Amino acid sequence: MIAADSTFSAQFLYAVNMRVQKWLQACKKAKSRVLVEDSYLEFLDLIWSLALKLFFTLLPASVSNPKDNIDNSHREPSKKQNRNNKEKSEKEQVKKTLVKNPTPHLDLLLKDRDD
């Protein structure tokens, strides 16, 4: 038995998306709907390639296999990540330095619940 391709659904959706995008581009450029070629939306050849187990589409490089282990340890954190880490560490320091008021204002205390 042949192992299932883990990127099959991405390949299929990519193939359908490319056809729809080409059709939408044609609609955008055409002066009239009558001038738009609808053959992009005829999926009979795609269905036959699936039925005959001949379907294959090369995915763009931006679509990666989730099972691939990508090592990002060599990358430096972005400025935003540095800023977020700095803000988190400042918040942690504030949490550590919070002190309970030994003499709170009586009007500002929470009321006791009468159960």
pLDDT at site 39: 87
Tens of pLDDT, residues 56-89: 888 888 776 656 655 556 666 666 666 667 777 7
pLDDT at site 23: 92
Give pLDDT < 70 ranges for the chain: 1-3, 64-84, 93-96, 98, 113-115
pLDDT at site 20: 94
pLDDT at site 75: 63
pLDDT at site 1: 35
Domain residue spans in the chain? 1-56
> What is the chain written as a DSSP string?
-PPPPTTHHHHHHHHHHHHHHHHHHHHHH-SSGGGS-GGGG--HHHHHHHHTT----PPPTTS--TTS----TTSPPPHHHHHHHHHHHHHHHHHHH----SS--GGGSPPPP--
pLDDT at site 69: 54
